[in-house]
Structure 1
Amino acid sequence: MNQDKVTAMDIARSMPGIMKRFPAIARGLYYYSIKDTQKTLTLGTLVENNAEKFGNRPAILFEDRRITWADFNAWANRIAGYLQAQGLKKGDSIAVLLENRPEVLAVVTGAAKIGVACAMMNTSQKGKVLEHSARLVSPKMVVVGEELVSVFDEVKASLALDHPTPFLFLADTNTLNTFGEAPAGYANMAQQVSTFNSDNPVLSDPPRTGDTAIYLFTSGTTGLPKAAPGSHNKFLKAYGGFGLMSLSMKPEDVFYCTLPLYHGTGLVVCWGSVLAGGSAFALRRKFSASAFWDDVRRYDATVFGYIGELCRYLLNQPPSDQDRNHRLTKMLGNGLRPSIWKEFKERFGIETIAELYASSEGNIGFSNFFNQDNTVGLSTAPYKLVKFHDGTRDPIRNDKGMLQEVAKGQPGLLIGEITKKWSFEGYTQKEATEKSILRDAFKKGDAWFNTGDVLKEIGCRHLQFVDRMGDTFRWKGENVSTNEVENIIDGSGMVEEAIVYGVEIPKTNGKAGMVTLVPNKNNFDINKLLAYMRDNLPAYAVPVFVRVTGAIEKTGTFKYRKVDIQKAGYTLERPNEEVYVRLPKTEGYTLLTPELVSDIDSGQFNF
């Protein structure tokens, strides 16, 4: 198979492997296809089933801790009892602000058992953005890890939560029965939880498959982050679709995950797959390219979760005679570029790449079920690839007002039909949900979810990711909202106008942030602006490039000519403008010169 084609012969070659995995595939199809939202099959019951079947096997591996399924389930039950004693009930929510560690999974599971949803706060957020996210879901309580208390304290006073003791502290001790000392204004959650019963809760009105289990925060396409509710059914789809149908996970498998658990890929896709096998989940707090393979060997991992950038960082490490000294043969994630796909497989001895396409809020997902190269796979959901306006996420309508499909093999905007089976759970904000829906697309009364992403078919209904369109771009594995960054910059008082977009840097994945701005001549200082942005934005959202200009061109209807500015990238061809770059391992912005541009273009810097 070549890079851009999947043929019937390629599918045929994969069939012997498919037949060997048929029992797991058939079981996975059952979970993936569940339609009844009133079932009592939930995240909590999946954990309880594993505790019953695989009680003494490891559920979580973290640093020097080994937590069995029985112990993990008992821990989650004590948390469920504690939250009930705090007056929380089905339909309530709590916010969770913790770095990757076992407590994240225990809190999410314990809350899920009694129908309380966990809002997974992005640990990179701070200041106004963190405050905004916390307000979106109106949580009753906030669980804050010791490692993030100083960040949360900056916004704590501005949150008026409906609970007498709303702030819960979890010490960063990495031991089950060492509770630490809670700061003033916080209850010591672990200490209080330890006194509760460890039996499975018995409820008169238990949570259902269609109830909200988590909220995931997404940059979306405009403005500040939006909260996307995720039902227990999302875990069931990951359990069946990825854990069983794609990976055929078993109790002996160990899934190594360095992806943040506030993201759907880490929490739902990776952990959902672990649940399917009764496997072990080996966690690392943050990704480290240099420590990656040592961890894989330490935990005897067989699978790992990735984003495209992660794979590129691993390839950039010096080759070693230890590159294949491990038991890891499978990987699950998204964003692996075709340009490094084959090299990655061959260097590290990978047999199965379960590449996927999905979004936190979306109603459509793709999975590389047949283990083909350079594809996100196929989907059983109804979808179309349609024509769109360049530089936007807006589809083109014909003179009858209808959308138009692209020719086979051409890039098109991916849209997923909204049906009873393929429902769109949307966001907590109704107006944001409606903006993502395309109505009367092909016939009166139909509705489709606009992914904002461009893909193309490469044969046998297999798609390949092309680009992310509109007002969002992806950098360092994160979605960056241009409007969010623009709003923060506007609030600095140092600029008159600012327009943010993503630009490509050769030999990197995603798009780096860039802002073109008109400075406020009275108080503009580029490095003071940088300090302000660092205080109010996640590190990945701070622009890498800044173009300083006297005016930003607009159309006759006062819209910015964003496409023209974006095409210029960080070149120095536009007269009377200065361009700055934030080079790796430097503290401030550096004025770009032709020599620096040449060095960046040739890959001299590791962005």
Structure 2
Amino acid sequence: MALWLVLVLLPVLVLWLWPRGPLRLRLLLEDARFSLQAARLKRSVQGWLRQGALSLPGLFQLQLRSRPDSVFLRYRDESVTYRQLEAQSNRAARALLSCGRLPPGAPVALLLGNEPRFLAAWFSVYKLRLVAAFLNTNVRRGALTHCLQTCGARGLITSPELLDAVLEILPELQDMEITVWVMGPGQFPPGVINLHNLMEEASENPLPCETETPINLLDTAICIFTSGTTGLPKAARISHLKTLMCCAFYHLCGGCSDDVIYMSLPLYHKSGALLGVGGCIGIGASLVLKERFSASQFWSDCRRYEVTIFQYIGELCRYLTNQPQNEDECRHKVRLAAGSGLRPDVWKEFSRRFGKIKIFETYGMTEFNITFLNYTGNPGAVGRGTFLYKVCIPRR
């Protein structure tokens, strides 16, 4: 039966390839390769679920057991292993708990920049079965109050560097009965709790009541706010299932545990937190965290940390191509750039200047449940309708 099927399909394939043979053959091979990567993603997520990893911190626990002393995070001159981040988040969870237990599912907002404290706070909120709400570090006054009201925050964790923005609305926060914690050393005014001091006194052992398993995969895991370019920011609800799918992002891109991922996108957005941090956890890789993107420091950072993958969004690549050309810009180990919003002209110039870097362009939105993927490397394309789709989906 299989032989007859081959004999029937082979002439059909030859006729299909004949008009534009090389191009169609290349696309067919790309479609087949991507289908295998999609199958790998599905197997990965199913494997995580079978092992009880029903949330992002549950997946982190899997990686922790297999590579506890591997470097997970590099920040400036600091290196943080999987074990050290786990200990820090345990201390943060115990410190929060010492101030009184919030009901499961209660939102706790994070107003933190790109730094290790963001990850420790995020994971500690997970450990207490609370919902993390990521706040844009640029919002102030009325917009900040609006975000906290919209997500129904019961608490707010911030840093000493961003405390002034919170103090501007502290009376309103007290009226809303929102507890304010500051995750960093210093002397703070009344009405603000020094979480840093509480963490210093807390144990790094897991909480006795800790559970990394949500009641339901469709429970809300985090709230991420839109940019607010057409009005006040709006909260997008992200489920535990969607966070796990985002953690499998680099399986689609072809990433592996040996990769070093450079992250300069803000962690309060989906691209930075879920695709970047979550995707890094998904493949057990190392993450280089930058406070903010710097075009002049980018390639030197890539050489310093031996970066193999970086994530971009919007005009980031254009900023790189606008930098003066120098002989060191091709001396790097970067093999993959993943992101969205790369214009065709910038794509071509980027590829010409910076060497053989595969670009994996995506198109999606935080609140959407689908994403388009341009895995064939065609500049300017928004995703691709594969040969397999065209064969399987009926058309008029």
Whether TM exceeds 0.5 here: the answer is yes
CA displacement, residues 367-386 of structure 1 (integer Å, 9 cap, x when unaligned): 234444433424xxxxxxxx
2:24 matched residue in structure 1: 8
Distance change >3 Å, CA 350–CA 95, structure 1 → 2: farther
2:126 matched residue in structure 1: 112
**Aligned mate of 2:223, from 199, 215, 231:** 215
* Distance (whole Å) between structure 1 residues aligned to residue 247 and residue 53 of structure 2: 16
Alpha-carbon distance, 1:227 to partner: 0.8
1:314 matched residue in structure 2: 320
* Distance (whole Å) between structure 1 residues aligned to residue 152 and residue 284 of structure 2: 34
- SS of 1:150's partner is helix
- Check whether the contact 1:245–1:369 (CA below 8 A) recurs between aligned residues: no
2:144 matched residue in structure 1: 130
Alpha-carbon distance, 1:304 to partner: 0.7
1:348 matched residue in structure 2: 354
CA displacement, residues 253-310 of structure 1 (integer Å, 9 cap, x when unaligned): 1111111111111111111210112111111111111111111111111111101311
* Distance (whole Å) between structure 2 residues aligned to residue 287 and residue 198 of structure 1: 32
Alpha-carbon distance, 1:189 to partner: 0.9
- Check whether the contact 1:33–1:237 (CA below 8 A) recurs between aligned residues: no
Distance change >3 Å, CA 368–CA 26, structure 1 → 2: same
**Aligned mate of 1:236, from 228, 235, 244:** 244
**May I ask how many residue pairs the two structures share in their alignment?**
364
Distance change >3 Å, CA 129–CA 264, structure 1 → 2: same
1:262 and 2:264 correspond: no
Q: Which runs of 5+ in 1 are unaligned?
A: 1-5, 172-178, 379-456, 463-607
1:65 and 2:71 correspond: no
Distance change >3 Å, CA 187–CA 221, structure 1 → 2: closer
Following superposition of structure 1 onto structure 2, how do residues 533-544 of structure 1 map, counting pairs within 5 Å? none
Alpha-carbon distance, 1:338 to partner: 1.2
1:100 matched residue in structure 2: 114
- Check whether the contact 2:56–2:247 (CA below 8 A) recurs between aligned residues: no
* Distance (whole Å) between structure 2 residues aligned to residue 352 and residue 276 of structure 1: 20
**Aligned mate of 1:226, from 234, 254, 267:** 234
Which amino acid is the alignment partner of residue 314 of structure 2? G
- Check whether the contact 1:135–1:159 (CA below 8 A) recurs between aligned residues: no
2:10 matched residue in structure 1: none
- Check whether the contact 1:249–1:273 (CA below 8 A) recurs between aligned residues: no
* Distance (whole Å) between structure 1 residues aligned to residue 117 and residue 194 of structure 2: 13
Alpha-carbon distance, 1:184 to partner: 3.8
Distance change >3 Å, CA 183–CA 327, structure 1 → 2: farther
- Check whether the contact 2:107–2:132 (CA below 8 A) recurs between aligned residues: yes
* Distance (whole Å) between structure 2 residues aligned to residue 34 and residue 128 of structure 1: 44
- Check whether the contact 1:97–1:148 (CA below 8 A) recurs between aligned residues: yes
Distance change >3 Å, CA 182–CA 268, structure 1 → 2: same
- Check whether the contact 2:31–2:388 (CA below 8 A) recurs between aligned residues: no
Q: Structure 1 stretch 347-356 or stretch 254-263: which is displaced more? A: 347-356
- SS of 2:315's partner is helix
1:169 matched residue in structure 2: 182
TM-score of the pair, normalised by structure 2: 0.83
1:294 and 2:300 correspond: yes
Q: When you count strand as a share of all residues, which structure comes out higher?
A: 1
Alpha-carbon distance, 1:133 to partner: 0.9
* Distance (whole Å) between structure 1 residues aligned to residue 48 and residue 300 of structure 2: 42
Q: Which has the higher contact order (CA 8 A, sep 6+)?
A: 2
The runs of at least 4 aligned residues of structure 1 exceeding 6 Å deviation read 33-36, 457-462
Q: Which runs of 5+ in 2 are unaligned?
A: 1-21, 391-396
Rg comparison, structure with higher value? 1
Alpha-carbon distance, 1:127 to partner: 1.9
Following superposition of structure 1 onto structure 2, how do residues 551-566 of structure 1 map, counting pairs within 5 Å? none
* Distance (whole Å) between structure 2 residues aligned to residue 366 and residue 303 of structure 1: 20
2:162 matched residue in structure 1: 148
* Distance (whole Å) between structure 2 residues aligned to residue 374 and residue 186 of structure 1: 49
- Check whether the contact 1:243–1:272 (CA below 8 A) recurs between aligned residues: no
